[in-house]
Amino acid sequence: MNSTDPVAPVIDANLAVALDALLTEQSVTRAAARMHTSPAAMSRTLGRLRRILQDPLLVRAGQAMVPTPRALALRDEAATVVRRLGALLAPATGVDPATLRSTFTLQTADLVGAALAGGLLTLAGQEAPGVSLRFRAEELEGGPALRDGRVDLEVGAIDHVDPETRVEQLVTLRMAAAVRAGHPLAEGPLTPARFAAAEHVAVSRRGRFDGPVDTALAEHGLSRRVAVVLPGHLAALSLAARTDVVALVPTVPDAADSSPSPLTEHASVLGLRLLDIPLRLPPVAIGMAWHPRHTADGAHHWLRTAVRRVLSGKPRASAA
């Protein structure tokens, strides 16, 4: 730094507040009471203000103190500065969704994105018509994308995040077998042997043929034939609706649940039947992840609440 460069002044917000109190009250004692300090401390503050502003500000007139012309000129400006400081440092208040003008980027698998898009669009139309949504496939590493701001919210199986990333589990689901109407597996009890004997479609972005189902079948001494691997669940469900391959789809743990998962909606639209898989499979945990800089943001809070409502199967219910 060049020694001839001007030195930036040190700004003390407390002095602005004290100046406003002194000019409003025109009394050191009353200003001290307003600032919850002692008259002696307020008198020292007045002395400091006089030195900084090079003006006496308040002078004796009999038993009272009266403002100087400079003080009168500063009074309204001081009051405005204090109001703005109060607004700047006040805790954040709730955001009215109707006033939002935001574009949110969500990263999801295709099935999760398809399940969320309709419900979020409905909620945005009802509550936040200025909100736009952008869905991205899972081509980005969740942690860096959230940290860098390329993604606002990741929804799905959260297993690759930075340590600071906030994660909230939303629903725990189980895998079911999705087959076309009239499929042979839909007739009679579904045993591990019958399930393994059918042709299957696997879903893997990395092109893998095996998964938890194969591990569970191996415990019974069984293996299945995976006829095709597809990168997304929607394509797998579409194929299952037109052929005899078996696809897997996450559904609610209890088949009698009155609030079915929106993740099974596309299977229902395609006319697929969901069958309980007679194997011990690990549950499917669906959560959402975000960077902590968004935790207190009102707009992002609305988005997270909306995602909870949609995945609960009750998009019109009030958020808890």
Q: pLDDT at position 304, please?
A: 95
Q: pLDDT at position 253, please?
A: 74
Q: Please give the single-letter amino acid code of residue 72.
A: L
Q: pLDDT at position 314, please?
A: 65
- Whether residue 91 is predicted with pLDDT greater than 70 in this model: the reply is no
Rounded Cα gap, residues 12 and 58, in angstroms: 20
Of 231, 287, 230, 240, which is closest to residue 264 (Cα–Cα)? 240
The rounded mean pLDDT for the chain is 87
Residue tagged 């309204």 (tokens): 76
Q: Which of 4-13, 41-50, 63-72 has the lowest mean pLDDT?
A: 4-13
Q: pLDDT at position 63, please?
A: 84
Q: pLDDT at position 113, please?
A: 94
Q: Backbone phi, then psi, for 275, in 5-degree steps? A: -115, 140
Q: pLDDT at position 258, please?
A: 52
Rounded Cα gap, residues 88 and 82, in angstroms: 10
Write the DSSP assignment of 205-269 as a string of letters.
TT--S--HHHHHHHTTT---EEEEEES-HHHHHHHHHHSS-BEEEEE-SSTT-SS--GGGHHHHH
Q: pLDDT at position 141, please?
A: 54
Q: Which of 158-172, 201-215, 289-303 has the lowest mean pLDDT?
A: 158-172
233-263 pLDDT per residue, tens:
999 999 999 999 999 999 887 654 556 688 8
Q: Backbone phi, then psi, for 82, in 5-degree steps? A: -65, -40
3-17 pLDDT per residue, tens:
455 544 556 788 889
- Average confidence (pLDDT) over 22-30: 91
pTM to 2 decimal places:
0.69
97-149 pLDDT per residue, tens:
899 899 999 999 999 999 999 999 999 999 999 999 999 987 655 558 888 88
Q: Where are the beta strands (DSSP E) in the chain?
A: 58-61, 64-67, 103-108, 132-136, 153-156, 166-179, 199-203, 225-230, 247-251, 273-276, 284-290
- Given a contact cutoff of 8 angstroms between Cβ atoms, the answer to whether 46 and 22 are in contact is yes
Q: Please give the single-letter amino acid code of residue 238.
A: S
- Average confidence (pLDDT) over 86-99: 75
143-200 pLDDT per residue, tens:
588 888 899 999 998 877 777 889 999 999 999 999 999 999 999 999 999 999 999 9
- Average confidence (pLDDT) over 71-90: 84
Q: Please give the single-letter amino acid code of residue 221.
A: G
